Chains A and B, each alone.
Chain A
Amino acid sequence: MVESCISNKIYSYKHECKWPNSEAADVHSIIVRKSRSKGFLVFFSALLILANAILLFLIKDKSIAVVFWSFIWDVLIVKLLLQKPVEKESVVIMPALGVQLETHYVSGNIIRRFVPIDKILKPVLLECVTPVTCYWSLSLIVQEEAELMLVFKELHPPVKMLVPIWKALCAATGSEGSLNTFTEDGPCC
């Protein structure tokens, strides 16, 4: 049963409640949306480079190495820009048991990490600053671990999708989050 759904250009958020009649799993997923225009653009520019190289070979009598290198370059661009290894990332909250963090790859590979409920001290929403940007991330403070555990390892969903997941985690772990700050001003829209 799908309870709520928010989406933007890159990601869409889905909240499902499996077996709604019992105290069971709550699944929050962030799904990467396929962008058709980006794929089209990349393939088109790759084709352009290859066509240019072939023209140079045929008309201007450059060596076959030009075609060869431009083909290699095309493969690299396509691989880099169109490589979407992550299909979706989800958080399965099982109250009284723990939280399971899953990463589903396009290739079919699924990586799962389970954290028992009593090991989670607090889920936190933090701002991460890099040399070029600043974004929100959701992490778990885990007992006996020096580092914070990122809930979404590969993806950077917007904060309006992270807030309901954070609230659900707070409710499940029983930790009192600073809910007042967010409910008064509201997350960004």
Chain B
Amino acid sequence: MGDSKRHRILMVSDFFYPNFGGVENHIYLLSQCLLKLGHKVVVMTHAYGNRSGVRYMTGGLKVYYVPWKPFLLQNTLPTFYGTLPIIRTILIREQISLVHGHQAFSTLCHEALMHARTMGYKVVFTDHSLYGFADVGSIHMNKVLQFTLADVSQAICVSHTSKENTVLRSGLPPEKVYVIPNAVDTAMFKPAAERPSGNEITIVVISRLVYRKGADLLVEVIPEVCRMYPNVRFIVGGDGPKRVRLEEMREKHSLQDRVEMLGAVPHAQVRSVLISGHIFLNSSLTEAFCIAILEAASCGLLTVSTRVGGVPEVLPDDMIVLAEPDPTDMVQAIKKAISILPMIDPQDMHNRMKKLYDWHDVAKRTEIVYDRALKCSNQSLLERLSRYLACGAWAGKLFCLVMIIDFLLWRLLQLWKPAEDIEVVPDIVLSLDEDRGMSQDFQAFNEDHSLR
């Protein structure tokens, strides 16, 4: 029960608001639920354009937008030791007890975890995606991951498939990896009061139109389904490099009145697009966990998806129809979905989803992981170096060298800017007023910071 102490957590990732995505939403919603449980949460990310410095979000969530320029796909430039001073300053001034990094593809996350370990803090890592093993990019990424995870306190994955993938890529012992699935905000994704009636069956697709999300499969599947079922229409939301192919397919088969292309759909409008349909189609070629199908199920849509990655673990069998990532198989799956559609009750589906997935539950489970992480013993530099040596013949020695230099730089920094000189920040005392929602104090704070 609630006898665990209050944690002071630093969430680190390159991906956060104002970017929208799975990782960003996960960090934000998890942080909000942890704040409600009474912990202190601070987020660190890189500056997004003009948005630089300290910002406050709902519930007193403090975000540090550190002015390091992103260089590739929203990732900070990896300088190995460049972020050590600012991370040390943030860890000391906020009196952090635990650092939680998100996403293997985030360079800021890897650097923060490395520096936090050097300084003796406990570290938790969450992996959100599946990666390959064969191509050059993946091999390097996996080596970096092996380095970071060689000395992590605990790790979290979003599905059992993801756990298997992470353990194989990084060589981490499986006992250290916890599986905590993502959840969905069922209060926001409610089914429509009345289902769209009429003879038409609407199939909704909302995803980035890229190769990874199976846009090429859609190009094959849509004309076939339209041919077989004259009363089916498609709504395609999202944008990307493959949009051109879909437009061409529309022209070629004269499906302008049956396939509606919405372009990029802002996150706030996803629900209104979903409730205009009966079936949700997901054609991803790889997925660690798929929040999109959770959102669709919460809105009462029957899902048709490719059987890849962690997707089979997400929904109960009666809410989803799975198919191999092959056009013929997918068309068969859509056929089956259309036949079982009359038996689906959207409200019933929504109620079941409410019981199955809840961010507060995710936060409680994450709290257990934090408690375990903090119980891990403190290790000296030599003990930690032995873990890095096990990473490989050459790689092990290189990792050891990197960590030794990091340790020396940290000591140098301690001499140059002693910890006593770094001022501790007072905690925000949020006195929630039921009537007004937020107290005057906090509003004053908010106004100050929104000007920068």
Could you jot down 30 A-B contacts, CB within 8 Å?
Answer: A122-B448, A125-B448, A126-B448, A127-B53, A127-B425, A128-B53, A129-B52, A129-B64, A129-B86, A130-B67, A131-B82, A132-B86, A132-B89, A133-B85, A133-B86, A133-B417, A134-B54, A136-B423, A148-B452, A159-B423, A160-B423, A180-B429, A181-B426, A181-B445, A182-B426, A184-B429, A185-B426, A187-B426, A188-B423, A188-B424
B53 lies within 8 A of A185 (CB): no
How many interface residues does B have (CB within 8 Å)?
A: 31
Contact of A124 among B65, B428, B440, B448 (CB under 8 A): B448
Measured in the bound complex, the distance between the Cα atoms of B67 and A158 in whole Å is: 22
Question: Is A186 positioned at the interface, with any CB of B under 8 Å from its CB?
Answer: yes
Q: Which residues of A contact B448 (CB under 8 A)?
A: 122, 124-126
Partner of A178 from the list B66, B85, B427, B441 (CB cut-off 8 Å) is B441
For residue B271, CB closer than 8 A to chain A, the reply is: no
Return the contact of B54 from the options A9, A127, A182 (Cβ within 8 A): A127
Distance (whole angstroms) from the CB of A187 to the closest CB of chain B? 7
Is the pair B445, A129 in contact by a Cβ cutoff of 8 Å?
A: no
Q: With an 8 A cutoff between CB atoms, is A177 at the interface?
A: yes
Q: Which residues of B contact A115 (CB under 8 A)?
A: none
**Cα-based distance from A15 to B202 in the complex (angstroms):** 73
Collect the chain B residues with CB atoms within 8 Å of residue A129's CB. Answer: 52-54, 64-67, 86
User: Is A181 a contact of B423 with CB atoms below 8 Å?
Assistant: no
B residues neighboring A (CB under 8 Å): 52-54, 64-68, 82, 85-86, 89-90, 93, 417, 421, 423-429, 440-441, 444-445, 448-449, 451-452
Across the two chains, which residue of chain A brings its CB closest to B94? A134
Is A148 a contact partner of B451 (Cβ separation < 8 A)?
Answer: yes
A141 at the interface (CB under 8 A from B): yes
- Provide the residues of chain A in CB contact with B82, threshold 8 Å: 131
List B contacts of A124 (CB < 8 A): 448, 451
- Min CB gap A183→B, angstroms: 10
A136 to chain B minimum Cβ distance, whole angstroms, is 7
Q: A187 to chain B: which residues have CB within 8 Å?
A: 426
CB contacts (< 8 Å) of A133 on chain B: these are: 85-86, 89, 417
Residues of B within 8 A of A127 (CB): 53-54, 425
Binary per-residue interface labels of chain A (165-183) against chain B in the complex, 1 for a CB within 8 Å, 0 otherwise: 0000000000011101110
Interface string of A108-137 (1 = CB under 8 A from B): 000000000000001011111111111010
Most buried by A among B86, B424, B448: B448
Measured between beta carbons, the chain B residues less than 8 angstroms from A185 are 426-427, 429
> Is A181 a contact of B90 with CB atoms below 8 Å?
no
Q: Nearest-CB distance from B42 to chain A (Å)?
A: 11
CA distance A170 to B193 in the complex (A): 52
| Distance of A117 from chain B, by nearest CB (Å) | 20
Q: Across the interface, which residues of A come within 8 angstroms of B67, CB to CB?
A: 129-131
Residues in B neighbouring A122, C-beta threshold 8 A: 448
8 closest residue pairs by CB, A with B: A185-B426, A132-B85, A178-B444, A188-B423, A188-B424, A124-B448, A127-B54, A178-B441
- B66 contacts across to A, CB distance below 8 A: 129, 131
With both chains docked as a complex, state the minimum distance between the C-beta of A170 and any C-beta of chain B, in angstroms: 11
Q: Is the CB of B89 within 8 A of A126?
A: no
Give the chain B neighbours of A160 by CB distance below 8 A: 423
